[in-house]
Structure 1
Amino acid sequence: MRFTAPSRLGVTLAASAALLASTVGPAYAAPAADEPASTPVPIDIVDGTLMSYVVNLDVANPGQTRLAERAVENAGGVVVQSWPQIGVVVAHSTSAKFLDELPTGPGTPVESAGPTRTAAVSEGTPDLGRETTPGDRGAAPYKRQLRVDGLDAGDVTSAADAAEVREGGLWSLDMVHAYEAHEVSEGSDGVLVGVLDSGIDAAHPDLAPSVDASTSVGCTAAGRPDTSPEAWGVTTSGHGTHVAGTIAAARDGAGVVGVAPNVRMASVKVVNDDGYIYPEYAICGFVWAAEHGMDVTNNSYYVDPFEFWCGDQPFQAPAMEAVRRAVDYATGRGVVHAAAAGNSAYDLANKSTNASSPNDGTAVERQINSTCKDIPTELDGVVTVSALGQDGNKAGFSNFGEGVVDVSAPGAGIVSTWPGGGYARLSGTSMASPHVAGVLALLKSTHPDAGPDELVALLEEQADDTGCPADAGLCGGDATDNGFYGEGIVNALDAVTAG
C-alpha cells in the first residue's frame, strides 16, 4: 500500500492547520455505476434511550469546534469529547430528534453526523457535570461476552503446552526470520508501539519491561481518554496481552520472546468489557497515538457494530469518516499502522453480501458494495495483513483480496502471553497483524528518520514473494503481489539488514 504523509519530525502545532484541513473530506460515497446501492440498516432511536453520535466538522479548528459543540447542546445533546485536531465531536443524547435538530451542511459548522452504534450506550455518559444514566439495552441486546477480530475468543483459545512456551523455536518467529534478525537488532527502546486492543497485563513477566504506563490510555468510557491504570489494564479479555507478547515480549530467559523485544509498548484500550470496539473508542486511540509519540500501531479488530461500514449509507458514513480522519491524522504525525484483514474468509476485493451486522443488535442480510469497508484495515495508509498457517498457506479463516491485502504473516496456533503470567495459543488475523507491527518496529529502529510511507515501502520490498497455490482461483495476481499474500510474507531479517 502506498501513501504519502509528512514525517512527525517538523510538524508543529502552529503548522498543523494545513495538515488538518487535508483530513476533512466528503462523508458520503457513491457506488460505482455498475454496482447496486447497499442495503440500509435501520437504527431504532427512541426518546429516553442514550445514544452515541459523531459530529464531523467542515473545517478542523478550535473555533469551528466550539460552534459545533454549541449546536450539539442546542439540539439536546451532551458533548462527551471533542477532537479539534480532526474536526470531530463525540456526543450523547437521549432525544430521538437529535439528528433532525442538529443543523448540518452549508452555512453550518457541521458537515455530517450519525450514530456510532445501534445499541444504547452501555457505559453511560462520563461525569461532565451532568448525570446521565445508560439507556435500556432491551431492543439491542449484547450477544457475546467477547468479540474481537470477528471470532469469539472461546473458539480460538487454548492453554499453551509447556513444551510450546519457549523463547527459541517458535515456528511463527522462524517463518518471519525474527531469530536471525535478533542477531542484528532486537529493536530500539526509542520506538513506541501502540497496542490498540483490550488492554495489556503489564505485570506479566514477559511484558513488564516493555509496557510504558506513561503513554497508555483507556478509551472505552464513551471515547473519552482515561490514563488511570484501571482504564488501560486487562479486564475481561486476554486478547491484547496475547498480541503484545508477539510484538515485544522481552528476551528474559523464560517464557516467549517477541518480534521486537527491545521496543516499548503502550496499552491503548479500545475494546470494552463486552468485547466491542465502537468508532469513538478507535478515534480516541488513533488521536492519542498521534499526540503521544507512537511510531507504530497494531489494530487486531474491526470497528463495531458493522463488519463493513458503507459509505453510501447516511447512518454509517459519518462514523466511518470520523475514524478515517483519526487514522489520517495519526499517519500525518508519523505513525504507521498494521491491521488484521479479518477472519470471515471473505474476498475484500469483491464485496457482495454480508449477514453479520450490526453485531450489537439484530443482524440483517444486506447487499454491500465497494463503498463498504472493513475499518480500519481497508482505510488508506493502513497495512492490511492476512494470516498464514504453519505450512505457509493462507489460513482458511483469513480474509483475502487482490489489491487489498498488503502483506501476510503467521496467524494460526500462535503461542504468546496471557493474563496472570500465563501463555495461550490463539488463531486469527489478529495474531498475524502483530508480527507485522513487530517488523515495522524493527524497521523504525533501524531507519529512525523514515516516515510511514517509507516504512511501508520497505516492509513490502523486503517481504518474501509468495505465489498463489495452483488451485486457488480466488487468489489472483502473481508471485509478486496477490490476494492471499499481498507483497509477500514479512521478513524481519531483511528489515534490520537493508540499507
Structure 2
Amino acid sequence: MLLRLAAIGVAAASLSLSVVSAVPASAAADQLPECSGVSANQPRGSSLLTVPSSDPLEQIGVRDAQHWLRARGIEPGAGTTVAVVDSGVGAGVPRAPGSAAGTPAYFHGSAVAGIIAGPLGIAPAARILDLRVYTAEDSPGGPQVSAAGVRSAFDQLVAHPEWRVSIVNASLEIGDDPGVAADIAKLRKRGVIVVASTGNRTQQASGVPSTYIGGEDFARHYFPAGYDGVLGVSAVAPPGGDTAGAVLANSATDLSAPTAGLRTLSVLGSPCLLGDVATSWATAEVSGVLALLRSAYPDAHPAELVARVESTASGRTDVRTDFAGAGTVQAYEALTRPLTLSPSGRQSTDAVAAPDDRASVPPSEPDVLAGTRHLSVWWGLLGGGALLLALVLRPVLSRRSRPASRPRG
C-alpha cells in the first residue's frame, strides 16, 4: 500500500494548556489528578504539558510507531475520523463535523478520546466525532450508558456516510439489540471498524460475580463486543496484578492492552491520570493504534488493518484466551512487520521475510566454454600420459634395436 506522504499538523493553539518546562517529567506525572475527580464546574487552572509518555503506551510501542510515521512525513492519525460513542468529549482533541457541542459533565468520554487523539493520544492528528449516549448527570444513580442512546448513535453513523468515519470506539456494554447489530453490519460493509470493550468485573450491575468463576463467558451478554466482526478488547493488569479480578472472561475478546497509569485528558482538556485496569481504556488504545494504521495505509482493506493488529499482538492468533484474545496490541509491530495478506485482508500462513540489506556476492554468469575446457583437460591428461610413457620405455626399446657385438679375434 502507498503511504500517505502529506503531513497534517494538529491545531495546538486550540489547547489552553500551559507548558512548564522547568518541572521534571516525573514530578508532573505525580501532580496529575485522577480523571474522575476533574469536574466541568471546576475553574480551569494552569496545566502541565510536560507529561511523560504513559507507561502502558510505552509497553505497546506507541512512541516508536509515531516516530516511524513522522520519519515518513505522516502525522500519526492524519486523515482518520474516530467516532467515540460515549459520555461526551471535552476540549483538547481535534473534532469532526457532526460532534455534539458543549462541555460534558462526566469524564469517561473525554478520557477515551484523549487516549485516542490529541496531545497525549496515540494518534494525535486523528479527528474525534463526539456521539453522546449517557444519561444526564442528575439522573438516578448518576450518568449511565443508555441503550436507546447507543442505538441512536449507531443509527446516525449509518445515516451519515459523509462523516467518513473509519473507526467506531464503543467503550461500553449493552444488552443484545438487533437494531444495533443491523447497524454494525451496515457499517462493516462500508469499511468501518467497530471496536468495543468486553467488560469489567468491578463496578458492574448485579449478576456479575466479584471474582472469577471457572468457565464463565460473557460473550452472549455484553454487546456490541459480542457481535460478529466487532473487535473485542480487554485489559491486562501490570505484572503481578490480578487481571481476572478486574475484567470478565469473554470469548469475544480479540485483543488486550495495559491501562494502569495512562495519562489522558479531562473534560476541561487538561492532563489527568487513569490508575485502574479497565476495558474502556484498553479499547481506546486499540482504536488509537488502528488510527495509526489507517493514516499509514489509507487504501488498505479494513480486514487488513484488523489482521495487522491481531497477528502482531504479543500472543498467538491460534491460541486465544478469554482474558487477552490474541495478546497485547503492539503498535510498532502492527505498522512495520511485513505480512502476506490476501485481497480480503486475511493473513496467509507464510509471512513475508524482512528484506536483507546486507551486501552479497552477485551470482556468476553461465560459462558457455565450460564443456570445451572440460574436454581439453582430458585430452591434455591423455597426451601428457602418453609422453611420459614414451620417455620411460625409450631405454628399453633402444637396447632391443641395437645389433649384437662380435668378439675380437
Measured in 1, the distance between the counterparts of 2:270 and 2:297 equals: 34
Paired amino acid for 1:447: Y
- Which residue of 2 is the match for residue 399 of structure 1? 248
Q: Residues 171 and 390 of structure 1 are in contact (CA less than 8 Å); yes or no, is this contact kept in structure 2?
A: no
- Which residue of 2 is the match for residue 417 of structure 1? 265
Q: What TM-score, normalized by structure 2, do the two folds share?
A: 0.60
- After the TM superposition, which residues 54-69 of structure 1 pair with which residues of structure 2 at under 5 Å, given as runs? none
Instruction: Find out whether 1:190 has 2:53 as its counterpart.
Output: no
Instruction: Find out whether 1:215 has 2:64 as its counterpart.
Output: no
Please report how far the alpha carbon of residue 480 of structure 1 lies from its aligned counterpart in structure 2 after TM superposition: 4.0
Measured in 2, the distance between the counterparts of 1:179 and 1:336 equals: 23
Please report how far the alpha carbon of residue 234 of structure 1 lies from its aligned counterpart in structure 2 after TM superposition: 3.4
Call closer, same or farther: CA 1:391–1:369 in 2, change over 3 Å.
closer
Measured in 2, the distance between the counterparts of 1:444 and 1:459 equals: 12
Please report how far the alpha carbon of residue 166 of structure 1 lies from its aligned counterpart in structure 2 after TM superposition: 4.4
Instruction: Find out whether 1:248 has 2:117 as its counterpart.
Output: yes
- Which residue of 2 is the match for residue 143 of structure 1? none
Measured in 1, the distance between the counterparts of 2:128 and 2:47 equals: 27
- After the TM superposition, which residues 353-392 of structure 1 pair with which residues of structure 2 at under 5 Å, given as runs? 355=207, 372-391=220-239
Call closer, same or farther: CA 1:156–1:183 in 2, change over 3 Å.
closer
Call closer, same or farther: CA 1:302–1:285 in 2, change over 3 Å.
same
Report the secondary structure of 2:131's partner residue. strand
Instruction: Find out whether 1:269 has 2:152 as its counterpart.
Output: no
- After the TM superposition, which residues 27-176 of structure 1 pair with which residues of structure 2 at under 5 Å, given as runs? 157-158=36-37, 166-176=50-60
Gaps of 5+ in 1: 1-154, 218-228, 251-256, 304-308, 310-316, 347-352, 357-367, 467-477
- Which residue of 2 is the match for residue 236 of structure 1? 105
Gaps of 5+ in 2: 1-33, 39-45, 70-74, 209-215, 339-409
Q: What TM-score, normalized by structure 1, do the two folds share?
A: 0.50
CA deviations over 1:454-478 (Å, ceiling 9, x no partner) = 2211110111127xxxxxxxxxxx9
Report the secondary structure of 1:409's partner residue. strand
Instruction: Find out whether 1:181 has 2:65 as its counterpart.
Output: yes
Q: Residues 220 and 226 of structure 2 are in contact (CA less than 8 Å); yes or no, is this contact kept in structure 1?
A: no
Q: Residues 164 and 415 of structure 1 are in contact (CA less than 8 Å); yes or no, is this contact kept in structure 2?
A: no
Call closer, same or farther: CA 1:168–1:479 in 2, change over 3 Å.
farther
- Which residue of 2 is the match for residue 201 of structure 1? 90
Corresponding residue to 1:331 among 188, 198, 206: 188
Measured in 1, the distance between the counterparts of 2:248 and 2:328 equals: 15
CA deviations over 1:226-271 (Å, ceiling 9, x no partner) = xxx2xxx433201111111100122xxxxxx211112111111112
CA deviations over 1:40-74 (Å, ceiling 9, x no partner) = xxxxxxxxxxxxxxxxxxxxxxxxxxxxxxxxxxx
Aligned length: 276
Identity rate of aligned residues, in percent?
29
Measured in 1, the distance between the counterparts of 2:281 and 2:307 equals: 22
- Which residue of 2 is the match for residue 498 of structure 1? 337
- Which residue of 1 is the match for residue 283 of structure 2? 433
**Whose radius of gyration is greater, 1 or 2?**
2
Please report how far the alpha carbon of residue 302 of structure 1 lies from its aligned counterpart in structure 2 after TM superposition: 1.2
Measured in 2, the distance between the counterparts of 1:165 and 1:342 equals: 32
Please report how far the alpha carbon of residue 284 of structure 1 lies from its aligned counterpart in structure 2 after TM superposition: 2.3
Measured in 2, the distance between the counterparts of 1:397 and 1:404 equals: 17
Measured in 1, the distance between the counterparts of 2:224 and 2:50 equals: 33
Please report how far the alpha carbon of residue 444 of structure 1 lies from its aligned counterpart in structure 2 after TM superposition: 1.3
- Which residue of 1 is the match for residue 164 of structure 2? 293
CA deviations over 1:322-362 (Å, ceiling 9, x no partner) = 1111111111211101111111279xxxxxx9626xxxxxx
